[in-house]
Amino acid sequence: QRIRVGVIFGGKSGEHEVSILSGQSILKALDPEKYIAVPIGITRRGEWVVGAEAAQVLQEAAQIQLGGPPEPSSIDAGADRDAAVGQPGAGPHAVPASQPGETALTLVPPALVESFDVVIPVLHGPNGEDGTIQGMLELFDIPYVGAGVLASAVGMDKVFMKKLFASAGLPQAAYTFYTRKTWESDPEAVLADVEAKLGYPCFVKPANMGSSVGISKAKNRTGLTAAFKLAAKYDRKIIVEEGLNVREVEVAVLGNDEPKASVPGEIVPSNEFYDYNAKYVTGDSALIIPAPLPPDVTEEVRRLAVEAYRAVDCTGLARMDFFVERETDRVLVNEINTMPGFTRFSMYPKLWEATGVSYAELIDQLIQLAIERHRETR
């Protein structure tokens, strides 16, 4: 008997395009002898579509040319999200909004989702990687690939992620954080506080985001002001970290109770840091697999990858991002990504391939892990 797999891709977040590319790769790789794969698209406006319309969303992939990072107005954050609350049409069972241009989530019949043996939510960023869709799938009692509600939510919120990493004794960059309100009510005080606590250079980030959207490196007060203004467009919470002089290393982790770490890979960004353009637009950032690190540093990174994964109670998969200090080779945890990019060219599958797990095998394992986790948590 073939397993019915729903693959959800697209979504309202700033990482819509990347998600379509990941979804398309997974759909192509699902062996038709083992699986009945059903594409489920979520449009930029948040409408759920299946059948011909889902195919249409997928076809966007052919035309996708990633330009600059997405504008905050096109993503579900801040004011945009507030505006959707309480509007007719909000909520998973709502009736589609009738007025054109209105933000709406269209009908998602539980019957649709419930007809799957397992769902792969290949969504990145807010409303996909953050526990919201995971919560919906829990309600419908459907096994799904990846982290559960808690780990997804914590992994998306860089402040709480760091608090948990700290309580597990994991090494990381010094940081501080502010709400948008604090920033807007007294920018001078916030700037002075950052300068006193961290100095320059520092990195300013929306707390909940991915793909480097809204992130800046600030080298002075003018840069810091601009960085806060940008980050505040994407989130109500802004995190600032000390700027490190580092190499960037990533590890793929796979598993539930006994997570395994892949060989590490190194990223050599084509820009001053690994920003949105260096990730998706210029295409000339280099991925070096395995990362050319001394053996003890490699072991340290792999060990910390599993510890950090456990620190947020992650299951299924995650790509763990690290910094290795240039002078000292000291390893610092940067972050967890609970639903990393999943095209054939993405770091996560490439790391497993280099470790001996093919793309198709990886998907088989993820589906089995989803089913096991569902069995154990009910």
Contact mark string toward Mg ion, 297..336, x via CB under 5 A = ------------------------x-------------x-
Phi and psi, residue 240, nearest 5°: -125, 135
Taking CB within 5 to 8 Å according to partner kind, which of Mg ion, ligand ATP, none is near residue 84?
A: none
Least distance CB 297 / Mg ion (angstroms): 19
Among the candidate windows 30-38, 101-109, 293-301, 329-337, which touches ligand ATP by CB under 6 A? 329-337
List C-alpha distances in Å: 313 to 114, 173, 348: 26, 21, 19
> What percent of the residues of the chain are helix, what percent strand, and what percent coil, each to the nearest 5?
40, 20, 40
Span from 51-59, 137-145, 331-339, 350-358 in contact with ligand ATP (CB under 6 A): 331-339
Q: Does 157 bind ligand ATP (CB under 6 A)?
A: no
207 binds ligand ATP (CB under 6 A): no
Binding residues for Mg ion, total number by CB under 5 A: 4
Q: Cα dist. 81→6, 33, 72, 319 in Å?
A: 26, 41, 11, 27
209 is a contact residue toward ligand ATP (CB under 6 A): yes
Q: According to CB under 6 A, which one of 241, 261, 346, 348 is a site residue for ligand ATP?
A: 241
Minimum CB distance to Mg ion smaller for 241 or for 335? 335
Q: Is 347 in the site for ligand ATP (CB under 6 A)?
A: no
- 369: partner contacted, choices Mg ion, ligand ATP, none (Cβ within 5-8 A by kind): none
46: enclosing H helix or E strand: none
Region of 29 (left: φ > 0; alpha: ψ -120 to 50; beta: rest) is: alpha
- Interacting partner of 151 out of ligand ATP, Mg ion, none (Cβ under 5 to 8 A depending on kind): none
Which long-range contacts link 340-347 to residues 24+ away (Cβ below 8 Å)? 340/124, 340/252, 341/18, 341/21, 341/22, 341/124, 342/22, 342/25, 342/26, 342/122, 343/21, 343/22, 343/24, 343/25, 344/25, 344/29, 346/22, 347/250, 347/252, 347/265, 347/267, 347/287, 347/319
Site for ligand ATP contains 262 (CB under 6 A): no
Q: Summarize as ranges the residues that interact with Mg ion (CB under 5 A).
A: 210, 321, 335, 337
Q: Summarize as ranges the residues that interact with ligand ATP (CB under 6 A).
A: 173, 203, 205, 209-212, 215, 241-244, 246, 248, 269, 273-274, 321, 334-335, 337
